[in-house]
Amino acid sequence: MFLRITAVCFAVVCLRLASGEIQIRVTSDPKLPAPNLISAFCTNADFESGLAGWKWNEDQYREGVDFAVIGDPVQGKAVCFHGYNRNIWCAVPIGKFQKGTPYIASCRIKPGKNLPRTGSLGFTITFWPADWKNGHGFHARGAGAEHWKTVNGKPFSVPEDAVHCQFSVGMGYHPGSGCVDDLAIREAYAKLRVTVTAPQVIRQVKIVNGGDETIFDSGIMRRDSRHFSKVLQVESAGVYTVLAVTDDGDVGSFTYPEQKERRN
């Protein structure tokens, strides 16, 4: 896949786009998206079986009023919330986690129009010691525009004092509404391998993640080479775009893993 634009600015220079062919190859170990381990912890993480396996505080809010599973056979189902601090939860067998192994959580969210921009909607993993005090929470949560998006948490490991574990899905301590779907837990890191080959000298290569954050920038390369390679550690829940510019202004772009169109 190639990106055709009229100009591109890398570092301190602006380069025009000319005709040419830049070949970008991206692979990873493991292949991305990394395997989703959620089924080892929760058998209904996509809510296709409604709320089976999930619990809530029945004294505070009611199914069908404060939250409900919605969807259809084509688009699939999601759990949607309305109100203040609405959540569902389930107990998780902590022995399924490997202590010392970094993990990362993610989910898909669709914020409602009344969810504050500073609000929080998504998926939380909480580890508790034996006395159920001072839990450690790790989150994949977000807010923002009213369309489906994937939110990723930060890498985490099981705390040394952890004895119990809970998953919770819903909103933070604020009013609002929104939907959550497709919970995921993956081993946190992957090794990304990038190679670029071009008919002209390659002057700069950048790698950005799905949040448009630059995770690698070669800067203006002074050596005259038509081949570039790089191996780096990345978070396994991410999406990465490689951008390359040659001496004559050709621009190549490739996104990995390939993104499938999802519902809005």
pLDDT of residue 20: 56
pLDDT in tens, 104-119: 999 999 999 888 777 7
Say which range, 106-110, 126-130, 260-264, has the weakest mean pLDDT: 260-264
Does the structural domain 38-187 have CATH classification 2.60.120.260? yes
Assess whether pLDDT exceeds 70 at residue 122.
yes
Flag whether pLDDT at 15 surpasses 60.
no
Distance (Å) of CA 94 to CA 60, 97, 100, 189: 28, 6, 13, 21
Q: What is the three-class DSSP state of 203?
A: strand
The CATH number of domain 7-32+189-256 is 2.60.40.10: yes
Per-residue pLDDT of 230-241, as tens digits, reads 999 999 999 999
Three-state SS across 46-109? CCCCCCCCCECCCCCCCECCCEEEEEECCCEEEEEEEEECCEEEEECCHHHCCCCCCEEEEEEE
In the structure, what pLDDT confidence band is assigned to residue 57 with cuts at 50, 70 and 90?
confident
Say which residue, 231 or 60, is predicted with more confidence. 231
pLDDT of residue 17: 36
Mean pLDDT rounded to a whole number for the chain: 88
| Rounded average pLDDT over 181-194 | 97
Cite the residue boundaries of each domain of the chain with CATH code 2.60.120.260: 38-187
Q: What is the pLDDT of residue 191?
A: 98
Start and end residues for every CATH 2.60.40.10 domain found in the chain: 7-32+189-256
Q: What is the pLDDT of residues 160-173, one digit of tens each?
A: 999 999 999 999 87
Exposed e or buried b for every residue in 65-83, given b needs 16+ CB within 10 A? ebbbbebeeeeebbbbbbe
Instruction: Report residue 261's pLDDT band, with 50, 70 and 90 as the boundaries.
Output: low
Helices and strands (DSSP H and E) totals, the chain? 0, 18
